């Protein structure tokens, strides 16, 4: 019966599957990236508090560096965090707010303190790093 009477069924299933994929693909691209709260809605630590917290983080990470093999992902991630935290401190000292400094400092994290090419670090890693800093620097 399938060979004779239902030849249209296979192309129909394919068309239905294709339509479903297109609909779900359009929905996933249509989602807004504003799912995280705006920076102004957080209660940020003061600039001196943020600098002190970040300096202690950098000091702790610098103490870990000698025990990590250079060139490993753990080493690169530790250098990335140090670079990011130092850049945040620098941006705050230049007059940026704590919230602004998180965004302004991302290029330093992306390039391991400007020692590698600009496309070195994935956006997912940068988002995670920014989120870590946000949690650390909010009340």
Same domain for 131 and 72: yes
Same domain for 71 and 25: no
Give residue 70's domain range: 44-137
Helices (H) and strands (E) in the chain — how many of each?
Answer: 7, 0
Q: Is 2 a domain residue?
A: yes
What mean pLDDT is predicted for residues 1-7?
53
Total number of domains constituting the chain: 2
Same domain for 65 and 22: no
Q: Is 36 a domain residue?
A: no
Q: Is 38 a domain residue?
A: no
Q: Is 15 a domain residue?
A: yes
Dist. CA 76–CA 125, nearest whole Å: 12
The count of other CB atoms within 10 Å of the CB of residue 47 is 17
For residue 108, what are its two tokens? 């330093």
Report field, pTM of the whole predicted structure over 0.75: no
73-83 pLDDT per residue, tens: 898 889 899 99
Q: Is 39 a domain residue?
A: no
């Amino acid at each position: 019966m399938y060979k004779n009477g239902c030849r249209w069924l296979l192309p129909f299933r394919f068309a239905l599957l294709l339509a479903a994929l297109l609909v779900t693909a359009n929905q996933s691209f249509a989602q807004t990236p504003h799912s995280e709260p705006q920076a102004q809605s957080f209660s940020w630590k003061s600039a001196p508090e943020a600098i002190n917290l970040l300096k202690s983080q950098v000091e702790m990470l610098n103490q870990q560096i000698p025990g990590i093999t250079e060139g490993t992902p753990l080493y690169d991630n530790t250098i990335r965090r140090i670079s990011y935290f130092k850049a945040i401190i620098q941006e705050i000292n230049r007059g940026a707010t704590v919230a602004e400094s998180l965004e302004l400092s991302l290029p330093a994290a992306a390039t391991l303190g400007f020692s590698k090419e600009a496309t070195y670090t994935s956006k997912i890693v940068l988002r995670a790093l920014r989120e870590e800093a946000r949690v650390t620097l909010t009340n």
